[in-house]
Structure 1
Amino acid sequence: MSKPLQLTLGLLKPDIFANPVFLDLALARIRAQSHMRIRQATIVQWSPEQAADFYAEHHGKFFYQRLCDYMLSGPFQALVLEGPEVIRDWRALIGPTHPIRARIRQPHTLRAEFGLTDTRNSFHGSDSPANARHEIRKFFPDFIFPKDLE
């Protein structure tokens, strides 16, 4: 029996988006995954209000302003990814939040290869089906969610 379809939001953040060679390499790695596919993509340049809204859960934390400033530093790419376990698979592909830890523990992940710091870590992935739906709506307000979605 096949697993139900999942969707997740993937972000290719400003640092990797600004480097066409790294961006192409990362997108090639994503496309090479047989168990996930890019369903929709868009290029985004946030306003300060959009960054504050997306990262509202981190407001008041020591890294909040640094994170918002980073995401406002340039355009980035938002992806809707789909697959039977795409939330787990995407997070496994991007690796740990901290690129230094990723280089030690999971050196073949995207953050290990392309991430710079814990803030400038190049990628984002939703952590649950509910958050994926919520986050996809922020970037793709007209996205039609499939009926057979987990």
Structure 2
Amino acid sequence: MSKEERFAFLTEWYDSTAALQRRYQLMYYPKDGSVEMFDVKNQRTFLRRTVYDDIQQDDLFLGNRVTVFSRQLHLIEYADQYTANKLGIKKERTLAILKPDVVTKIGDFLELIYSSNLIVTKAKMSCLTCNQAADFYAEHQSKPFFNNLVQYVSSGPLVAMELMGTDAVSAWRRLLGPTDSPTRRESPQNVRSQMGAEGIKNVGHGSDSLAAAARELEFFFPSTVGLGPGNTARCTDCTCCIIKPHAMSEGLAGKILNSISKAGFEITALQMFHVERANAEEFLEVYKGVVTEYSCMVSELCSGPCMVLEIHGNDVPKRFREFCGPADPEIARHLYPTTLRALYGKTKVRNAVHCTDLPEDGVLEVKYFFTILDG
């Protein structure tokens, strides 16, 4: 009889009550979607094998965070060679940049990325200074287009993303297409051909090797907090939108962003966050004792990566809240079928998006993410 397949990871969980970093071995059984946890320090079973639908095999990669019964576990190592060989082989990380001219089409790009079996693990809208752009493109300093490239890339907001997947470096560059126009016309099934990009305004950037990817990812997403390009939040005349973890894992981010843009709302900041439970409790504290779903809302917000948006405009908290619709997607589908929650929500907790409820809280909620958590 063949042995049942099992994947094992070494994970860390910060116990805020004891102020300790605890380590567990997490086992995942793809046959029935069950999980098991082993306490590394105390050498005993912490969680017996239990079916747990909130984790999928696609969630299991180094660096990701998964939540198991309110514990947000950081996957730091493969716990055995089989898991490393099966899940780690050919898995790569690469940097993808959407240049200023196409930032408003980020929803289309996210749909393209997910349909190509790549995962967005980090994302941030930034504005580069001329000096930062020159540093990033330093290898092209001697080329005639260098100054124009620096000016163009620093002319407005761009979106930098870390993509993860099988052969991610070549997969993203293949989606973009060749940089030069003649070659591009020979293979028209790529983004640059379809968007008619020319010269330095060629839609995006992709790392050309694993070494370049590591260097370029460190530029935009440095391991040292506080370094790297900042976010683009204005923190005035704005409201906060959070694309919830369940919607991110279901690949709905692109559709939601497209719906927001088509409705005429301006997205002036965008960033992915992994929210710690303590931060989720703090951010959602206004709902504590007010709605019965409070604890479930907290668990959802810290269950995986979310995407936070600053929506800018006049009277935008009220207008955007109406666009999101009632908290209960079933009610939304009956009364306001074109709202975000009607289109993409599942339950009152997994209702696709959070939006600022009180107009006076719009700036405060935006600042919580883009000033405090990204500080």
Residue 53 (structure 1) aligns with: 135
**In structure 2, how many angstroms separate the alpha carbons of the residues matched to 1:85 and 1:24?**
23
Identity %: 36
**In structure 1, how many angstroms separate the alpha carbons of the residues matched to 2:99 and 2:196?**
10
Q: 1:115 to 1:67 in 2, by over 3 A?
A: farther
2:206 paired with 1:125: yes
Residue 98 (structure 2) aligns with: 12
- Corresponding letter in the other structure for 1:124: H
**In structure 2, how many angstroms separate the alpha carbons of the residues matched to 1:130 and 1:71?**
22
2:113 paired with 1:27: no
**In structure 2, how many angstroms separate the alpha carbons of the residues matched to 1:139 and 1:99?**
28
3-state DSSP class of the match of 2:116? coil
Kindly state the Cα deviation for residue 27 of structure 1 after the two structures are TM-superposed. Answer: 2.2
The structure whose residues are more often strand, as a share, is 2
**In structure 1, how many angstroms separate the alpha carbons of the residues matched to 2:156 and 2:166?**
32
**In structure 1, how many angstroms separate the alpha carbons of the residues matched to 2:110 and 2:169?**
17
Bigger radius of gyration among the two: 2
**In structure 1, how many angstroms separate the alpha carbons of the residues matched to 2:182 and 2:157?**
24
**In structure 2, how many angstroms separate the alpha carbons of the residues matched to 1:105 and 1:23?**
26
Structure 1 runs of 4+ aligned residues shifted over 4 Å read: none
Kindly state the Cα deviation for residue 28 of structure 1 after the two structures are TM-superposed. Answer: 1.4
- Number of residue pairs matched? 138
Residue 137 (structure 1) aligns with: 218
Kindly state the Cα deviation for residue 99 of structure 1 after the two structures are TM-superposed. Answer: 4.4
2:162 paired with 1:76: no
**In structure 1, how many angstroms separate the alpha carbons of the residues matched to 2:152 and 2:217?**
20
3-state DSSP class of the match of 1:6? strand
- Which runs of no fewer than 5 residues in structure 1 stay unpaired? 144-150
- Corresponding letter in the other structure for 1:11: I
CA contact (8 A) 1:115 1:122 kept: no
The structure whose residues are more often helix, as a share, is 1
Higher relative contact order, structure no. (Cα contacts within 8 Å, ≥ 6 residues apart): 1
State the superposition RMSD in angstroms.
1.6
Kindly state the Cα deviation for residue 115 of structure 1 after the two structures are TM-superposed. Answer: 4.6
CA contact (8 A) 1:16 1:114 kept: no
Kindly state the Cα deviation for residue 87 of structure 1 after the two structures are TM-superposed. Answer: 0.5
2:179 paired with 1:97: yes
3-state DSSP class of the match of 2:222? coil
CA contact (8 A) 1:99 1:121 kept: no
